[in-house]
Structure 1
Amino acid sequence: MTTLDFDGIPFNPLGMEQPTPEPPTTAPNPLPPVRESERLANESTYPAAGSEGASTRLVARSAARARPTDPEAAVHPVAAEAIAQIRAGVVEAHRAALTAQTALQREIWRRARGRAAVEAEVPALLIGADEVGRDHVAGPIATPKSPAASERSAQRRFHAAEGAFKPLARTTVVGLDRDALEMLTVAEMESVFGGSHRRDGVEVAARLAASTPLVLTEVSSIELYGGIGNGRVVARFEGDPRAAALQAAEVFAVFTGMPLCLSGSTLTGGVGDASVGTASGAVELVVDRLDVVPRPFLQATARLDGVAEAVVVTVMVAERAGAGVGPGEAAPGLLLNEFHMAHLARGDQAIAMGPEFAPYTGVRATRLPTGGLLLVDRVLRFDGARGNLESASYDTEYDSPADSWYYGDTANDSMPHFVYMETSLQAALLMGYYAGPTLTQPGTTLSLRNLGGTATVLRQIDLRDKTIQQSSRLLSTTILPGSSLQTFDYTLSVDGQPFYQGETMFGYFSDQALGNQTGLDAGRSVPSWLTAHPEAATRVIDVAARRADPAARACSRRKLALIDRVEVVDEGGNYGAGYLHSLRTIDPEDWFFARHFHLDPVIPGSLGVESVIHAVQEWMLDSGFADGMADPAFRIPAGIAFSWRYRGQFLPTDGTVELEAHIKSVRRDGHGATVVVDGSLWKPGLRIYELIDLAVELADRKASE
């Protein structure tokens, strides 16, 4: 680990007096040599800021090297460009703009939080499909017969809305007889719902009707996304209607696997006032809210035969008195589970990461994304130690149910590209943060940003209903005053077989460092190719109009409606093979700001990449690449290394996102076509994203059956 001086003026975004910063100290041990990488084949180099033709490694290549003696030489190679750019800018030139942005951003976020409190009462809705049915949504994780069959199945299913509750366990059981209900009274969750309702090391103590006699006689229907979108239970009872309402809610809590969060946990709850008596009949329970923060719980409304008014029901999963719920405590055998991920995203950081992280709760700090952008579920293994920032390795998991919102919204044959990026990057940043780089600078507000990486799809695979294993390594950490840089490599696998691998770098930046943003071009205003060639003749692809047609094929929709029009210059661009340009207005109400990140809203870089992909997809369709295809679909090609660099972020107040793509190559074969592009994205006046060798494949599903 290395500490370097920061060359700049201390920045105060609120204009308040601040104490004189203490001089930086140098860590006692320089960065040790690292081993030869097994992934040198996909190396990419980039121009350093302010230097034409100069190149530096974007991501750490674990090449063997001697231990440096000069402190400057001790810097890991991957940090060199970022350090140069941080030093190069003039903080004072950005102070006024960032001060205004910060004030606006805080006001927008204050209002958004107020709306969120109201919207939290409005449950997620379903996204319809061609054929209707409900029993599929509680289906087990199963291997589809083929990509084509899986796609047809997906077209017939509902997809959960972005932000809908993701159950901790899935089952095909959607009804219970009296014997099954009796088994739930003795905590036989696995026996009733199946093997997904068991986790190694987790004691299941939660039982039905712990506080009242069992009055349910059967449950005729359990719908994961029924009612108004959050769940529905229909049952019959004999006895106290209030007890029936409570037990129906307990059934749903167990059905979704909530007790698996906390080993040895029990169910507690209550029923609102109502004029009830002993009766028999039916109960319909509609779930209004459910979450795992601060503890797993649900709130529901029950309507019962013989009871005039609806009854409000609450059920919560509670740990044993005195039991720990922090890392390694909530569920033996797992360092972190879904409960910790949710707390890291928007809850108590002391629960998520340990007591050392308590000061980060309720303030702007490093977070995982939340809602439908939270794409890591569990940490299985961590081979490292807090405070050791030089190296660590770890294994994590993410479950990708076939009813996930992004499968319904993408034009891809399977998972959209941005989920590949997010699930791998989130696994990396999670444990890099757990190692404690921010703990070296107490009292400093640090925001997390991805700075770049390279990744390659090793093989194409349908990821619906798969559990993705993420194996990552922390390669290095460089500490600067007000900033930290970390490098990682990672591999994603299914059933032990790798399908995606890459390397990346993250930075933790103070307000001062974030204010010193000079983009990719050392602060110079570099125009898009179209701006620099005003004479170029353009034609327009009306993406919004095509999207408005429900029958339009291979079209990204709803939450993934990221662009509305594309300007095309045939035979334009850097390679003379075609040029694409798009401009989108940023709406501070855009859905992803509430998801990424809590108290620190920025557009996910992966969605910037996704928007360029959409421009290429629309161009391919407009250019006739799908002509003659019976069932066209987009895929991510295997074997093409893609690289990206980020040197800035899009804020809610930035006004616009401008993107361009230069067609680099087009390859056609008997199955379809593959297009490779280079691209860039701008916030007003500043180019901040660069994409190299981004590839899109269009294929005919019918031809591959």
Structure 2
Amino acid sequence: MTVLEFDGIPFNALAAPGPAGPDSPAPEAGGTQPVIGANIAAGSAASGSGAVPRVDPIAEIRAGVVAAHRSALSAQLALQREIWRRSIRRAPESVPVTETAGSAREGAFKALARTGRVRLDRAALEQLARGEAAAVFGPGHQRAGTVWAARVAGTTALALTEVTGIELYGGAGNGRVTARFEGDARSAALQAAEVFALFTGMPLCISGSVITGSVGESALGSSSGTVDLVVDGLDLVPRPYVEGTVSFGPGTQPVAVRVSVTEPAGVDVGPGGAAGDLLLNEFHMAHLARGDQAIAMGPEFAEYTGVRATRLPTGGLLLVDRVCEFDGARGNLESASYTTEYDSPADSWYYAETANDSMPHFVYMETSLQAALLMGYYAGPTRTQPGTTLSLRNLGGTATVLRQIDLRDATIEQDSRLLSTTILPGSSLQTFDYTLSVDGEPFYRGETMFGYFSDEALGNQTGLDAGRFVPTWLAGHPEARTRIIDVAARRADASAPACSRGKLALIDSVEVVDQGGNYSAGYLRSLRAIDPDDWFFARHFHLDPVIPGSLGVESVIHAVQEWMLDAGFAESMADPVFRIPADIAFSWRYRGQFLPTDGSVELEAHIKSVRRGPHGVTVVVDGSLWKPGLRIYELVDLAVQLADRKAQS
């Protein structure tokens, strides 16, 4: 019989864990080797055939922890299902966002097309009324294979005479349109919302789409004057829509308005349907993240709507936009290749909140991994086990930055290959390789493995060390002298350079042992409490909240960055910034998940090398992350570079 090995031992995601404490007996000759469980899990040793297993009190405690973990998963699933049921009974709500000066807010609506034209005269409005959006807003408002039929004033006479301003993320809500009108006030209100929908490129995601809408009653009737639309809701789910409140000047009663971009009757909006020359576009990505799986992946995926299932992240963590080419077939799980794209606007929230000179490391990881998992899922591994709810987790990989590049306003092309799929009861494994490029020039390359796991398999969580308790280096060296870097205090200083803030404020302090750690070059430790209301749980994943592994990696990076600044490496730099150095292969392994109920995240980093060169100082570390009592992440050769931006400009 063929036995799949994973981490060097036979893989069985459903095997119940046995004794795994530090005093557990070693397997005898001819006995059963440890098994691996869920995303995650490593199994335990058992004695040879006919042997009576020894009762281990630590194993009994661990079994109780596993049972409690399974109960937590079940309760979480029941709660999320109820939240889903309630949400689909209500009208869609906009995602709450917080202001970040000079950038889009995390979770804010991402326009499908960008344009610098924010003022429109009557002639431009008449072009929009004829459906000539690209002539008004530019070539970004057209897409190969997509028929643009949406237009302003499709059901009413054109009342707007001039648009004096259009703003996305502005005003008191998510956007704003100010205009002048002559004629029917309600028509002017409706047309202001239509202009905004066209401005954001919403019709690009449904070929041949039209705009329909409704507006509240206004006492103005036919008049003239100004119209001021404050957009407080816009989304692509269930269909692209804009809603807001329109005012007509002092002393007038504001009215509510809503417009939707909808497909023509009888048109398929699923994969390859109304997506033009694309297989999947931004509309499908939004549905895969938090909407109708049948729309995102096809009718055979309908059973996954409203339950824990494989999804893309949502909000500011959704980092893939379109599937451009797919060389494969659904049901062929052995190999496929595909090209996807992600647009990274310069005002993306993570550029404003990172200490990096350009894109933070976690976005490199997420955008490449999301591209891989998307098409691996599309191929259909979960359809081999109908009726089983399977959640997706990344298990590890290796990646290398090939060259440093500023990715602001770049479209990242993601070329990925599915290399293999292994189907097992209650789980399956897929491997991929990928390359990220801009304008055809690669800048990032790696390999990764994903696993799909049932709830039972997720419950068999035993971490990186076969269920044994492995303490941090510091816990094993109680004699070590420590000092504290107060990260929160430095972050509170608005003038502090090279500091991660906002949603990327992932650590508050770092405990340092100088000349400590595995390499006697320095040791870092940080402990952070998990708040079930932390922003990323709502993003990763819908109905299945866990901390993104990439943010675990990012938190270790932040600890290293703070140590580098504390060590004085930036003292001679006029404008210190952090970068991801090129040509250093980084690898990671994940064998666990951080749930909202886990209490804390503990991390450590061992300084491995400090290299000074013409481009600054580069530090390489190895690291680990723990949930209470269990080491679940391992990082090898994670590199951080500190450079002087002014010296290299």
Q: TM-score, normalised by structure 2?
A: 0.90
CA RMSD of aligned residues (A): 2.4
- Which of 176, 193, 217 is the matching residue for 1:249? 193
Aligned-pair distance for 1:274? 2.8
- Which of 456, 459, 466 is the matching residue for 1:522? 466
Q: Which residue of structure 2 aligns with residue 352 of structure 1? A: 296
Would you say 1:540 and 2:519 are equivalent positions? no
Q: Is the CA contact 1:449–1:506 (under 8 Å) kept in the aligned structure 2? A: yes
- Which of 616, 620, 627 is the matching residue for 1:683? 627
Q: What one-letter code is carried by the residue in structure 2 that aligns with 1:413?
A: D
What SS does the aligned partner of 1:412 have? coil
Q: What one-letter code is carried by the residue in structure 1 that aligns with 2:100?
A: I
Aligned-pair distance for 1:92? 5.4
Q: How has the CA–CA distance of structure 1 residues 88 and 311 changed in structure 2, closer, same or farther, with 3 Å as cutoff?
A: farther
Q: How has the CA–CA distance of structure 1 residues 631 and 7 changed in structure 2, closer, same or farther, with 3 Å as cutoff?
A: closer
Q: Which residue of structure 2 aligns with residue 209 of structure 1? A: 153
Distance 1:107 1:333 in 2: 39
Q: Which residue of structure 1 aligns with residue 553 of structure 2? A: 609
Q: Which residue of structure 2 aligns with residue 551 of structure 1? A: 495
Q: Is the CA contact 1:328–1:335 (under 8 Å) kept in the aligned structure 2? A: yes
- Which of 105, 117, 126 is the matching residue for 2:76? 105
Distance 1:305 1:222 in 2: 17
Distance 1:325 1:622 in 2: 54
Distance 1:291 1:233 in 2: 17
Q: What one-letter code is carried by the residue in structure 2 that aligns with 1:323?
A: V
Q: What one-letter code is carried by the residue in structure 2 that aligns with 1:196?
A: G
Q: Is the CA contact 1:123–1:289 (under 8 Å) kept in the aligned structure 2? A: no
- Which of 51, 76, 85 is the matching residue for 2:42? 85
What SS does the aligned partner of 2:475 have? helix
Would you say 1:309 and 2:257 are equivalent positions? no
Aligned-pair distance for 1:111? 9.0
Q: Which residue of structure 2 aligns with residue 181 of structure 1? A: 125
Q: Which residue of structure 2 aligns with residue 124 of structure 1? A: 97
Q: What one-letter code is carried by the residue in structure 1 that aligns with 2:394?
A: N
What SS does the aligned partner of 1:626 have? coil
Q: What one-letter code is carried by the residue in structure 1 that aligns with 2:188?
A: A
Measured against aligned partners, the alpha-carbon deviations of 1:114-153 in whole angstroms (never above 9, x if no partner) come to: 899899457534311xxxxxxxxxxxxxxxxxxxxxxxxx
Q: Is the CA contact 2:81–2:543 (under 8 Å) kept in the aligned structure 1? A: no
Q: How has the CA–CA distance of structure 1 residues 481 and 83 changed in structure 2, closer, same or farther, with 3 Å as cutoff?
A: farther
Q: Which residue of structure 2 aligns with residue 581 of structure 1? A: 525
Aligned-pair distance for 1:672? 1.4
Distance 1:174 1:119 in 2: 27
Distance 2:174 2:505 in 1: 24
Q: What one-letter code is carried by the residue in structure 2 that aligns with 1:322?
A: G
- Which of 551, 557, 572 is the matching residue for 1:628? 572
Q: Which residue of structure 2 aligns with residue 218 of structure 1? A: 162
Aligned-pair distance for 1:3? 9.2
Distance 1:523 1:241 in 2: 68
Q: Which residue of structure 1 aligns with residue 584 of structure 2? A: 640
Distance 2:97 2:25 in 1: 50
- Which of 385, 409, 412 is the matching residue for 1:441? 385
Measured against aligned partners, the alpha-carbon deviations of 1:375-406 in whole angstroms (never above 9, x if no partner) come to: 00000001000110000000000000000000
Aligned-pair distance for 1:308? 2.2
Would you say 1:563 and 2:507 are equivalent positions? yes
What SS does the aligned partner of 1:385 have? coil
Aligned-pair distance for 1:306? 7.6
Distance 2:25 2:418 in 1: 29
Aligned-pair distance for 1:87? 7.7
| Larger CA deviation: 270-279 vs 562-571 | 270-279
Aligned-pair distance for 1:360? 0.3
What SS does the aligned partner of 1:85 have? coil
Distance 1:274 1:216 in 2: 16
Distance 2:82 2:571 in 1: 48
Q: How has the CA–CA distance of structure 1 residues 118 and 542 changed in structure 2, closer, same or farther, with 3 Å as cutoff?
A: farther
Q: How has the CA–CA distance of structure 1 residues 378 and 222 changed in structure 2, closer, same or farther, with 3 Å as cutoff?
A: same
Q: What one-letter code is carried by the residue in structure 2 that aligns with 1:579?
A: Y
Aligned-pair distance for 1:187? 0.2
Q: How has the CA–CA distance of structure 1 residues 119 and 88 changed in structure 2, closer, same or farther, with 3 Å as cutoff?
A: farther
What SS does the aligned partner of 2:212 have? strand
Distance 2:13 2:583 in 1: 41
Q: What one-letter code is carried by the residue in structure 2 that aligns with 1:98?
A: H
Measured against aligned partners, the alpha-carbon deviations of 1:8-59 in whole angstroms (never above 9, x if no partner) come to: 5689xxxxxxxxxxxxxxxxxxxxxxxxxxxxxxxxxxxxxx999xxxxxxx
Q: How has the CA–CA distance of structure 1 residues 375 and 122 changed in structure 2, closer, same or farther, with 3 Å as cutoff?
A: closer
Q: How has the CA–CA distance of structure 1 residues 358 and 222 changed in structure 2, closer, same or farther, with 3 Å as cutoff?
A: same
Q: How has the CA–CA distance of structure 1 residues 436 and 107 changed in structure 2, closer, same or farther, with 3 Å as cutoff?
A: closer
Q: What one-letter code is carried by the residue in structure 2 that aligns with 1:127?
A: T
Q: Which residue of structure 2 aligns with residue 37 of structure 1? A: none
Q: Which residue of structure 1 aligns with residue 455 of structure 2? A: 511
Distance 2:107 2:67 in 1: 36
Measured against aligned partners, the alpha-carbon deviations of 1:507-556 in whole angstroms (never above 9, x if no partner) come to: 00011111111100000000000001111000000000000000000000
Aligned-pair distance for 1:196? 0.3
Distance 1:230 1:193 in 2: 20
> Gaps spanning 5+ residues in structure 1: where?
12-49, 53-78, 129-157
Q: Is the CA contact 2:41–2:591 (under 8 Å) kept in the aligned structure 1? A: no
- Which of 206, 209, 213 is the matching residue for 1:262? 206
Aligned-pair distance for 1:97? 1.5
Q: What one-letter code is carried by the residue in structure 1 that aligns with 2:355?
A: A
Distance 1:274 1:265 in 2: 28
- Which of 420, 427, 430 is the matching residue for 1:476? 420
Q: What one-letter code is carried by the residue in structure 1 that aligns with 2:69?
A: L
Distance 2:307 2:92 in 1: 22
Q: What one-letter code is carried by the residue in structure 2 that aligns with 1:101?
A: A
Distance 2:212 2:545 in 1: 35
| Larger CA deviation: 506-515 vs 637-646 | 506-515
Q: Is the CA contact 2:40–2:462 (under 8 Å) kept in the aligned structure 1? A: no
Q: TM-score, normalised by structure 1?
A: 0.83
Q: What one-letter code is carried by the residue in structure 2 that aligns with 1:397?
A: E
- Percent of aligned pairs with the same amino acid: 73
Distance 1:94 1:393 in 2: 41
Distance 2:128 2:587 in 1: 51
* Alignment of structure 1 residues 38-437 onto 2, 5 Å: 85=42, 94-103=65-74, 105-106=76-77, 109=80, 120=93, 123-128=96-101, 158-305=102-249, 308-437=252-381
Q: What one-letter code is carried by the residue in structure 2 that aligns with 1:96?
A: A
Q: Which residue of structure 2 aligns with residue 655 of structure 1? A: 599
Aligned-pair distance for 1:83? 10
Measured against aligned partners, the alpha-carbon deviations of 1:165-205 in whole angstroms (never above 9, x if no partner) come to: 00000001010000000000110000000000010110000
Measured against aligned partners, the alpha-carbon deviations of 1:48-85 in whole angstroms (never above 9, x if no partner) come to: xx999xxxxxxxxxxxxxxxxxxxxxxxxxx9997993
Distance 2:608 2:237 in 1: 47
Aligned-pair distance for 1:669? 1.8
What SS does the aligned partner of 2:556 have? helix
Q: Is the CA contact 2:189–2:229 (under 8 Å) kept in the aligned structure 1? A: yes
Q: Is the CA contact 2:73–2:455 (under 8 Å) kept in the aligned structure 1? A: no
Q: Is the CA contact 2:41–2:466 (under 8 Å) kept in the aligned structure 1? A: no
Distance 1:104 1:83 in 2: 20
Q: Is the CA contact 1:605–1:646 (under 8 Å) kept in the aligned structure 2? A: yes
Aligned-pair distance for 1:272? 1.2
Measured against aligned partners, the alpha-carbon deviations of 1:281-330 in whole angstroms (never above 9, x if no partner) come to: 00000001000000000111000148721110000001010001000012
- Which of 403, 411, 425 is the matching residue for 1:459? 403
Measured against aligned partners, the alpha-carbon deviations of 1:575-620 in whole angstroms (never above 9, x if no partner) come to: 0000000000000000000000000000000000000000000000
Residue correspondences, number: 611
Q: Is the CA contact 2:37–2:462 (under 8 Å) kept in the aligned structure 1? A: no
Aligned-pair distance for 1:654? 0.2
Aligned-pair distance for 1:100? 3.5
